[in-house]
Amino acid sequence: MMDVLSKSPLNEIMSCGVMSNGSGQVIIFHDRPIEEEISWIEYDQSSNSFSIVYVDGFTQSLGFEINSKTAMNLMNSGQVVLAYLEGKQIMSTQEVVIIAKDY
């Protein structure tokens, strides 16, 4: 089992990225399993930070910049789908609430 609960951003531990659309659908792709239980995804508009918050309260940055169009989509979303990929095949998905902070 890989310990993703480190101080490193997720994109330094595995390949990951985000796709979104104007309807508020958001998918985070990652190429290694995340074994730890996730409570929610958090997007902070003021700092443009995008993080995973685990059940134990640990917050881990995803480690990549969010462009303005994706930021608007995140603000209109209520949930995120995390998709674990092996090669080009989706192995598993998980729906997680997103909390978008705009203050």
In degrees and rounded to multiples of 5, residue 72 shows phi and psi of -65, -40
Q: Tell me which H or E stretch contains 92.
A: strand 89-101
Asked if the model's pLDDT at residue 1 lies above 90, the reply is no
Q: Residue for token digits 């929610």?
A: 40
pLDDT score, position 102? 77
- The band of 2, judged by pLDDT with boundaries at 50, 70 and 90, is very low
- Please provide the average confidence, as pLDDT, over all residues in the chain: 89
Average pLDDT on 15-37 reads 92
Tell me the sheet residues that pair with 28: 18, 82
Phi first, then psi, for residue 101 (nearest 5°) are: -95, 130
pTM: 0.86
Write the CB contacts of 7 (distance below 8 Å, at least 6 apart in sequence).
none
C-alpha to C-alpha distance for 68 and 5, rounded to whole angstroms: 28
